[in-house]
Amino acid sequence: MKKTVFAAFVSAGVLLAAPSSAVDKESDSVKEIGKAASQQLLKTLGGNLKKHLKAGGPEAALRFCSGNAYSLTEKVDASLGSRISVKRISRRYRNPQNAPDAGETAVLQIFDQMKKNGIEMPDALVQNLGNGTYRYYKPLVIAKGVCLKCHGDVQKSDPALYSAIKSLYPDDRAMHYKMGDLRGAVVVEVQR
C-alpha cells in the first residue's frame, strides 16, 4: 500500500517535507517560507476566532468568520509580498472562496488516502509546479473539540447555530466532521 501512496506523490509532483538530506536547498527554503506564512495566517485567524468564541460563543465566532476570515486572509496574503501568497482550501468548504483548484484537490486527495491507509500525514508537503513556482501545503486536521462546535454534527448539537450557519452559508459543506478528520489545508505559493 505504501508504494501506491508514493506513486501518487510522484504523479502529483509532490515532494514530502522530509529531512534536508532527502530534498534540495530550494525545497528547504520553500518549506521555511511556507511554514512561516502558514503560521502567520493560522495565528491571525485563530487568535481572532478564540477572542470571539470566548466573548460570545460559537454564534459570535461564526459571525466573525463569515464577515472577516476571508478579508484577514487577504491582509496576511498582502503582507507577504508579491512573490508569496497564502490561502486556506477545503474540498468541504464553508466559503466557496476556499474551494481548491484541480492541483490542490489532488493534494487533498493524497492527504485523504494517507489518512484512510493509516499513514501518518507529514507536517507539510511541497509541490514543484515548475518555472520556479512551488506550493507548500500544511494539512489542517480537526484536533480540538471546540472545532466540532461549528464543524461537527451541528444540526443535532445546536439547532440555533445550525440555522445561523445555513443562513450565512446556504451551500455549506463544512459540517459532520469528527476528531482527527482532515479539514483542508493552508496553501502557500512561492515564486522564486
* Within-domain flag for 108: yes
* Within-domain flag for 91: yes
User: Minimal CA–CA distance to 188: which of 26, 38, 78?
Assistant: 38
Task: Classify 172 as helix, strand or coil.
Answer: coil
Over residues 151-166, mean pLDDT: 97
Task: Classify 130 as helix, strand or coil.
Answer: strand
* Within-domain flag for 111: yes
Kindly report, residue by residue over 80-112, the tens digit of the pLDDT.
Answer: 999 999 999 999 999 999 999 999 999 999 999
List for the chain the helix, strand, coil content (%; round to 5): 55, 20, 25
- Give the domain range for residue 25: 2-141+180-191
pTM, two decimal places: 0.88
Over residues 1-22, mean pLDDT: 46
* Within-domain flag for 167: no
User: Minimal CA–CA distance to 189: which of 141, 142, 114, 130?
Assistant: 130
* Within-domain flag for 152: no
How many structural domains comprise the chain? Answer: 1
Domain at 121, CATH number? 3.30.450
Percent with pLDDT over 90 in the chain = 86
Q: How far apart, in Å, are the Cα atoms of 174 and each of 13, 77, 116, 157?
A: 28, 23, 19, 15
How would you class 55 by CB atoms within 10 Å of its CB: exposed for 0-12, middle for 13-18, buried for 19 or more? exposed
* Within-domain flag for 166: no
Specify the pLDDT at position 29: 94
| Helical ranges in 80-158 per DSSP H | 102-116, 148-151, 154-157
* Within-domain flag for 9: yes
* Within-domain flag for 121: yes
Kindly report, residue by residue over 29-48, the tens digit of the pLDDT.
Answer: 999 999 999 999 999 999 99
